[in-house]
Amino acid sequence: MSATAQKKERTIKPINGDSPSVRKMDFEGLDQLSDFYIAGNSFLTHTVNAYHVIFPEGERFFIKSVKAFADQVKDPALQTNIKGFIGQEVQHGKEHEKALEMLEKQGRPVSKILNFYVKTAYGFFWTVLEFLFGKKLKLSVTAGLEHYTASMGEVTLRFGLHEQAEGEMRNLLLWHACEEIEHKSVAYDVLQTVSKSYILRTFGFLIASVMFWGYAFVLQHMFIWADPKIGFKRYFSDFAAAGPYARTLLVEVGKLAFLYFKPNFHPNQTGGYDLANAALATI
């Protein structure tokens, strides 16, 4: 089941992978969504809820990781792209924080889950990793995570997964996916400016993989366990119903993930810009 978002007049700059633009969207009506706003499915909805928790702090992490080396970038075009990247990430964080406010109103334990995420990821894991390996590893992880978010964005658009979302959530997810595709090479190009080490790049990607999928699973299930509307029977019925979507996402994102290990890989090789531009026009 999918819901069509009410059309809202917006002037939106087209996608340009050579020069990312900041688009202030200001999505409204998120508080009007149902409890299970992705295909009426609790498993899928709480997967997205997990990312609403991950993204705002994650975007701030990305910004700090890139800004730490921005002064080493001498290419004027990349300097401009860094500004566009930062502007987009700021907007992503703001819109996902609106989604968190919606979840709070639904009675979800957002503060508890967010506190767990921030304390474990940023209070412990990243503190230890930076102490052991320095800020270059954080930049490498950021480049790897950007490949994941862009890959998820491309798969979401290619298979129309965003159409399963209700109302403005459909538009929020679509817009975020398009901009992840648009700026997907920025952190990678900064990393290549700082270090062309294959070991650093792939080690960062392996850490990104563990963090990305690990927190998605844990936070999703924290939402599920706290949901009084999900019992044993509904959990497994919704899990089964979510199977085709999950398989599509995991298989297709997995294919794109393995490309990252090619010695001559660059994010632009996966394309997706025309796809993102066509999708963005539907908001």
Mean confidence (pLDDT) of the chain: 95
SS3 (DSSP) at 178: helix
Q: Are 252 and 170 contacting, i.e. CB atoms less than 8 angstroms apart?
A: no
Residue spans of the domains in the chain: they are 35-280
pTM of the complete model: 0.94
pLDDT digits (tens, 9 = 90+) for 178-217: 999 999 999 999 999 999 999 999 999 999 999 999 999 9
Cα distance between residue 186 and residue 143, in whole Å: 8
Cα distance between residue 112 and residue 131, in whole Å: 27
Res 3: pLDDT: 43
Percent of the chain residues past pLDDT 70, beyond the cut: 96
Residue-wise burial string across 210-237, b where 16 or more C-beta atoms lie within 10 A, e elsewhere: ebbeebbeebbebbbeebeebeeebbee
Q: How confident is the model at residue 235 (pLDDT cuts 50, 70, 90)?
A: very high
Task: Average the pLDDT over 109-122 and give the result.
Answer: 98
SS3 (DSSP) at 38: strand
Res 2: pLDDT: 42
Res 7: pLDDT: 52
pLDDT digits (tens, 9 = 90+) for 167-181: 999 999 999 999 999
pLDDT digits (tens, 9 = 90+) for 139-172: 999 999 999 999 999 999 999 999 999 999 999 9
